[in-house]
Amino acid sequence: MATDNQFMAVGAKGVVHNNEAVQVIIGPDVTNVREEVDDLMENGGWEEFNNQISNDTPVAEKENETEFATNESQLFAPVDGKFINIEELKDDVFSQKMLGDGYAIEPSNGDIYANVEGTIESVFPTKHAIGIKSLSGAEILLHLGLDTVELKGKPFDILVKEGDSVKEDTKIATMNIDEVRKSGKDPVVITVVTNSDQYKLNKFKENSGSKVKHGNSIVLVYKG
């Protein structure tokens, strides 16, 4: 079994232990991290990999070397509905900000728009989450519902692909809210800044329970 440090070194955001169960928190780079872990588990090499870790440039330093168009980005409501503080979500991964800081919206319809201007960085195979790299370098995860990975993409239709440029008025997905609820899942739409160790959120423009429309400005994310 790999150690927590080994999972973190290949890109995991955190590791949660619950008795004998282990949950690896990854984020929008899930595909790349999974390929790294699968290769190491199938072909061995954990020991050799450990020897290489100390020589690698930390991810944060690599990102700091990259120049971005701006140091801040505006985050938007990706869907019509009711604004919810992320701490109120009934999922510890999000409410305890294991993936990063952010916010959520209880959707009133299934039309999903980009929550930031930037580039589509990843589309999860199960269609329940999309990663966007903002113009400032903030990595924004758009997560459709709680535990919806188990639905294997059935309630979702993704309208973008990796590499596409998007803005707040770009429709990027649809979600069948009724189907999600009939499956016993919560269709809440969540926005998370997954590199919150480098990017911070300013004061929110909405209070929990307030109604929002897609494209409404929610909060400014800035490097700091």
Top-confidence residue, 125 or 5: 125
Return the minimum-mean-pLDDT range out of 46-60, 97-111, 201-215: 46-60
Question: From the candidates 17, 128, 143, 214, which is the catalytic residue?
Answer: 143
What pLDDT does 69 receive? Answer: 76
pTM summary value: 0.76
- Residue 215, Cβ density class (10 Å: 0-12 exposed, 13-18 middle, ≥19 buried): middle
CB-CB neighbours of 224 under 10 Å = 9
What pLDDT does 3 receive? Answer: 56
Average model confidence (pLDDT) across the chain: 83
What pLDDT does 68 receive? Answer: 81
Count Cβ neighbours within 10 Å for each residue of 5-36 and write b for 16 or more, e otherwise. Answer: ebbbbbbbbbbeeeeeeeebbbbbbbeebeeb
Residue whose C-alpha is closest to residue 189's, from 74, 92, 94, 72: 94
Give yes or no for a contact between 162 and 201, defined as CB atoms under 8 angstroms apart. Answer: no
Mean pLDDT of 52-60: 49
What pLDDT does 184 receive? Answer: 97
Q: Domain residues of the chain, as ranges?
A: 4-56, 72-223
Q: What is the pLDDT of residues 81-128, one digit of tens each?
A: 999 999 999 999 999 999 999 999 999 999 999 999 999 999 999 999
CATH class of the domain defined by 72-223: mainly beta
17 flagged as catalytic:
no
